[in-house]
């Protein structure tokens, strides 16, 4: 559903993405871990068609997002949730969702909007309060409710748990797990080891534009993930292999 094929990108002669390849299947969650400058945000921007690759392809459901003929079709299948959800602060949750739905050409009832918010766990007594009174976690729930309304096949998430308290992070993980069970393919970039370990089916470790390793997260202890990450970033794994 999400596929990177040898994606490469340079800025001012500096390579920020070097032949990146991976796939995220339907119902699967993949997290990209890496420090600032690893190439994670560039990867999302290529899938969103905000940037053009120097070479390679970014595919959504088999469609090249950088093809002029198919870019619109690929965007119809995805929802992007940035670190800070930019919704209308003076609107309440219902009005924001109604507006976003209208922009997408969707006709939805008030009952459908409330049902989507029910799935995110946003309490009913705050749904008609302006978003300027919401916490980050509450705003994230409105963004995910829109993904539910869109019946998005693909979710692209940029540091969605940054600034969330542990309880809100656990709730966010639960919501994403339910969306994956419904068949969504989810690609998330994060610095959060705990969230990646709790959520992902597979975890990609990136550094300086390269995918150093792609780990199967099934039965992988959190300490093993942390150790592998630090060894790869520090180059210890390469040293061990060379010796």
Can you give the C-alpha Rg of the chain in angstroms? 18
Q: Are residues 125 and 158 in the same domain?
A: no
Range of the domain at 123: 85-152
The answer to whether the beta carbons of residues 187 and 28 sit under 8 Å apart is no
Residues 55 and 125 in one domain: no
pLDDT beyond 90 at 181: yes
Mean pLDDT of 162-177: 87
Mean of the pLDDT values across residues 229-241? Answer: 70
Mark whether 71 and 168 lie in a shared domain.
Answer: yes
Residue 104 half-sphere exposure toward CB, CA atoms < 13 A: 21
Mean pLDDT of the chain: 89
Taking the model in full, what pTM does it have?
0.88
Same-domain check for residues 33 and 144: no
Query: In which band, very low, low, confident or very high, does the pLDDT at 242 lie, cut at 50, 70 and 90?
Result: very low
Sign of the torsion angle spanned by Cα atoms 46, 165, 138, 86: negative
Cβ within 8 Å of residue 95, ≥6 positions away? 88
| Orientation angle between helical segments 136-150 and 110-120, nearest 10 degrees | 130
How far out from the chain centre does Cα 220 lie?
21
Q: Which of 152, 168, 201 is the last residue of a domain?
A: 152
Determine the pLDDT at residue 243.
36
Q: Using DSSP bridges, classify how beta strands 210-216 and 154-158 pair: parallel, antiparallel or unpaired.
A: unpaired
- For residue 132, the model assigns a pLDDT of 93
Q: Quick one: average pLDDT of 2-27?
A: 95
pLDDT-derived band of residue 164, with 50, 70 and 90 as boundaries?
confident
Read off the pLDDT band of 239 (50, 70, 90): very low
Question: Residue 17 pLDDT > 90, yes or no?
Answer: yes
- Cβ contact 21:43 at 8 Å: no
> What integer pLDDT is reported at residue 36 of this predicted model?
87
pLDDT attached to residue 238: 47
Residue 71 has what pLDDT?
Answer: 58
The token duo for 42 is: 């560039």
The CATH number that applies at residue 198 is 3.40.50.300
* Same-domain status, 161 and 208: yes
Q: 158 and 145 share a domain? A: no
Q: Are 127 and 117 in contact (CB under 8 A)?
A: yes
Shared domain for 106 and 73, answered yes or no, is: no
Per-residue pLDDT at 76: 76
Q: Give tens-digit pLDDT for 113-136.
A: 999 999 999 999 999 999 999 998
pLDDT in tens, 71-108: 566 677 888 988 877 789 999 999 999 999 998 888 89
User: Do residues 68 and 158 share a domain?
Assistant: yes
- Structural tokens at position 168: 């809100």
First to last CA, the chain: 39
Q: HSE on the CB side for 106, CA within 13 Å? A: 19
- Same domain, yes or no, for 102 and 56? no
């Amino acid at each position: 559903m999400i596929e990177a094929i040898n994606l490469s990108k340079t800025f001012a002669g500096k390579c920020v993405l070097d032949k990146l390849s991976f796939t995220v299947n339907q119902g699967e969650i993949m997290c990209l871990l890496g420090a600032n400058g690893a190439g994670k945000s560039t990867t999302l921007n290529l899938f969103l068609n905000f940037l053009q690759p120097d070479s390679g392809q970014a595919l959504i459901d088999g469609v090249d997002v950088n093809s002029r003929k198919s870019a619109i079709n690929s965007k119809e299948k995805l929802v992007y949730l940035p670190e800070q959800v930019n919704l209308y602060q003076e609107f309440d949750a219902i009005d924001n969702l109604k507006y976003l739905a209208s922009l997408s050409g969707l006709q939805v009832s008030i009952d459908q909007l409330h049902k989507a918010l029910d799935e995110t766990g946003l309490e009913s007594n705050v749904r008609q309060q302006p978003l300027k009174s919401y916490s980050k976690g509450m705003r994230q729930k409105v963004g995910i409710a829109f993904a539910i309304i869109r019946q998005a096949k693909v979710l692209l998430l940029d540091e969605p748990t940054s600034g969330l308290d542990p309880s809100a992070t656990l709730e966010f993980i639960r919501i994403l797990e339910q969306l994956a069970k419904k068949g969504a393919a989810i690609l998330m970039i994060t610095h959060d080891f705990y969230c990646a370990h709790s959520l992902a089916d597979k975890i990609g470790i990136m550094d300086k534009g390269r995918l150093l390793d792609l780990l199967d997260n099934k039965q992988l202890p959190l300490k093993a993930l942390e150790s592998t990450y630090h060894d790869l970033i520090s180059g210890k794994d390469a040293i061990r292999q060379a010796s």
